[in-house]
């Protein structure tokens, strides 16, 4: 089974060809165009600009992903000897699409494009919830880092074998912070989420206060590393409340007050980044491990842009071992943490559910069932 997957929910236009082969999720091609440089200039995403860029890039991205999906010999130089439409017609079994959540203009570009392709080429469509796909990016084949996730461990065989479940999933992105319990791929329960800003959103807003480029998460991680350590501390909001909810807007306000009272030097900015990152990671790790313990889960899967943060993964592993929790913690390969179509294809293959294209609509406010 081979799917063409499309992701267009925000500022990335992404297409991938993904296959389920010998119980593995194999990436045949993956192409992403991003309009980030445009949004960096405005210090954040202006939805209309993002949608206009989606319109520009959607077809070239799809064509490139189709051409690159052929084996090198067959494709020639960048697949020039084969037309993308021929590949779609003969090699692709179904089309997977993000139908929400996200920006309405951006979502519409992807959704309406694939509805047309599905109609013309008579292909089935699998609509995918972007948030769930972030977690299931952990199931994309990755032999390079020798990961031992049961689902992708060839030695142990079966994809999504029982030992992957139950797991706790933490989605941490620019738009969302959610904690979920998965009994199996279809039965899951939302445990809590942010009451205000998402973790990535807070990092981006704090980055702006510090004069960093949008989006600031990755730079905050680099600067925190450069600082090494500091005695400066910010509070981790609601860390001691008995809830799986999160809140990050108070942290932003605390940093704002600090920045107003102190002259920013390069060294101080790095130290603020260290303290901010610590405050965010502390609360993410504490609540997620508490959920793993409460629901007796031996697997924790992270997903979303903030899960690209290496300090987060290290902290998770350190805390789990110091609490003597038998928890295996995984984050997707870095390129599959931020928005990408490969994760959409992976989720569609793992939870294959066709829906007639006439019934698929962009749902900007889609959450969990
Ligand atoms: O998942 P994503 O690409 O888009 C959404 O669905 O929101 O996540 C983007 C977010 C941004 O807020 C960005 O600052 C953050 O992920 N991010 C990071 C890192 N890389 C990206 N945050 C912390 N550390 C990183 N290395
Ligand atoms: Zn995302």
Please state whether beta strands 12-21 and 177-182 pair in parallel, antiparallel, or not at all (unpaired): unpaired
3-state class of 356 per DSSP? coil
Please give the average per-residue pLDDT across 47-74, as a whole number.
88
Q: What is the mean pLDDT of the chain?
A: 90
Looking at the CA of 219, name the nearest ligand: 1
Which of 13, 171, 174, 178 is the best mutation target for the ligand 1 pocket, counting ligand atoms within 8 Å of the beta carbon and taking the most? 174
What is d(CA 338, CA 9) in angstroms, rounded to the nearest whole number?
Answer: 12
What is the CB neighbour count within 10 angstroms for residue 42? Answer: 10
Nearest ligand, CA of residue 200? Answer: 1
Nearest-atom number in ligand 1 for the CA of 200 is 12
pLDDT tens sequence across 281-312: 999 999 999 999 999 998 899 999 999 999 99
Phi, psi (rounded to 5 degrees) for 81:
-80, -10
Question: How many angstroms is it from 36 CA to the middle of ligand 1?
Answer: 12
pLDDT band at 144 (very low <50, low <70, confident <90, very high): low
| 3-state DSSP assignment of residue 99 | strand
pTM of the model: 0.92
Which of 206, 212, 217, 339 has the most ligand 1 atoms within 8 A of CB, as the residue to mutate?
A: 217
Condensed to tens digits (0 to 9), the pLDDT of residues 147-168 reads: 444 444 443 333 444 557 899 9
Distance CA 183, CA 318 (A): 25
pLDDT of amino acid 302: 95
Structure tokens at 300: 């924790």
Q: Which mutation among 194, 215, 336, 367 tests ligand 1's pocket best, with the greatest number of atoms within 8 A of CB? A: 215
- Token readout for 288 is 């997620």
Which protein residues touch ligand 1 with a CB less than 6 Å away?
10, 173-175, 200, 203-204, 215-218, 221, 304-306, 308-309, 338-339
Q: 158 is written with which tokens? A: 């079966």
What's the pLDDT at 81? 57
Residues forming beta bridges with residue 179, ordered by sequence position: 170, 192
Ligand 2 mean position, distance from CA 302 (Å): 12
DSSP calls for 116-168: HHHHHHT--EEEEEHHHHHHHGGGB--TTTT---GGG-GGG--TT-GGG-SEE
pLDDT, one tens digit per residue, over 82-137 is 688 999 999 999 999 999 999 999 999 999 999 999 999 999 999 999 999 999 99
* 221 CA: nearest ligand 1 atom: 24
Closest-lying ligand 1 atom to the alpha carbon of residue 303:
1
Judged by DSSP in three states, 365 sits in coil
Provide the pairing of β-strand 94-100 with 2-7. parallel
- DSSP state letters, 227-257: H---S-----TTTTSSSS-B--HHHHHHHHH
* Ligand 2 centroid, distance to 272 Cα (angstroms): 26
Helix (H) or strand (E) holding 172, with range, is: strand 167-172
C-alpha 337 to ligand 1 mean position (Å): 8
Tokens of 149: 């996730």
Distance from residue 150's CA to the centre of ligand 1 (Å): 26
Nearest CA to ligand 1 atom 21: 305
Q: What residues contact residue 358 under an 8 Å CB cut-off, 6+ apart?
A: none
Nearest CA among 115, 124, 104 for reference residue 47 = 104
Residue from 105, 133, 103, 104 nearest 6 by CA: 133
Percent of the chain predicted with pLDDT > 90:
76
> What angle in degrees, to the nearest 10, is found between the helix axes of 199-209 and 266-294?
170
- For residue 172, the ligand closest to its alpha carbon is 1
Residue by residue, DSSP assigns 256-304 as HHHHHHS---HHHHHHHHHHHHHHHHHHHHHHHHHHHHHTT-SEEEEES
Rounded distance between C-alpha atoms, residue 274 and residue 245, angstroms = 23
Could you count the other beta carbons within 10 Å of the beta carbon of residue 268?
Answer: 17
Contact of 362 with 98, CB cutoff 8 Å? no
Output the six-digit token pair for 361: 């609509």
**283 alpha carbon to ligand 2 midpoint, in Å?**
20
Q: What phi and psi values does residue 57 have, to the nearest 5 degrees?
A: -100, -10
Query: Of the residues 208, 338, 339, 342, which should be mutated to test ligand 1's pocket, given the most ligand atoms within 8 Å of the CB?
Result: 338
Residues 6+ apart with CB under 8 A from 314: none
How many angstroms does the Cα of residue 173 sit away from the middle of ligand 2? 6
């Amino acid at each position: 089974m081979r799917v063409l997957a499309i992701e267009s929910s925000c500022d990335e236009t992404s297409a991938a060809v993904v296959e389920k082969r010998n119980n593995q999720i194999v990436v045949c091609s993956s192409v992403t165009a991003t309009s980030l440089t445009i949004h960096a200039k405005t210090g954040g995403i202006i939805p209309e600009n993002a949608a206009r860029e989606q319109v520009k890039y959607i077809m070239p991205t799809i064509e490139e992903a189709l051409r690159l999906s052929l084996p090198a010999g067959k494709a020639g130089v960048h697949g020039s000897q084969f037309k993308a439409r021929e590949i779609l017609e003969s090699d692709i079994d179904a089309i997977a699409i993000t139908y929400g959540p996200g920006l309405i203009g951006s979502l519409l570009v992807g959704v309406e494009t694939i509805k047309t392709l599905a109609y013309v080429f008579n292909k089935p469509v699998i609509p995918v919830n972007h948030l769930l796909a972030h977690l299931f990016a952990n199931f994309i084949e990755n032999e390079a880092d020798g990961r031992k996730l049961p689902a992708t461990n060839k030695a142990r065989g079966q994809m999504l074998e029982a030992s992957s479940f139950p797991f706790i999933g933490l989605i941490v992105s620019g738009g969302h912070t959610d904690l979920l319990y998965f009994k199996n791929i279809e039965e899951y329960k939302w445990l809590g989420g942010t009451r205000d800003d998402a973790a990535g959103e807070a990092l981006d807003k704090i980055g702006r206060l510090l004069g960093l480029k949008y989006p600031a998460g990755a730079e905050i991680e680099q600067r925190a590393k450069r600082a090494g350590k500091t005695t400066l501390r910010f509070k981790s909001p609601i860390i001691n409340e008995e809830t799986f909810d999160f809140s990050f807007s108070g942290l932003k306000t605390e940093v704002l007050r600090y920045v107003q009272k102190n002259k920013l030097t390069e060294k101080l900015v790095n130290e603020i980044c260290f303290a901010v990152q610590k405050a965010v990671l502390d609360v993410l790790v504490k609540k997620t491990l508490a959920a793993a313990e409460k629901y007796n889960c031996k697997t924790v899967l992270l997903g979303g842009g903030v899960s690209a943060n290496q300090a987060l993964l290290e902290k998770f592993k350190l805390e789990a071992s110091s609490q003597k929790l038998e928890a295996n913690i995984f984050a997707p390969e870095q390129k599959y943490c931020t928005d990408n179509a490969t994760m959409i294809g992976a989720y569609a293959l793992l939870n294959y559910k066709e829906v007639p294209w006439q019934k698929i609509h962009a749902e900007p406010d889609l959450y969990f069932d």
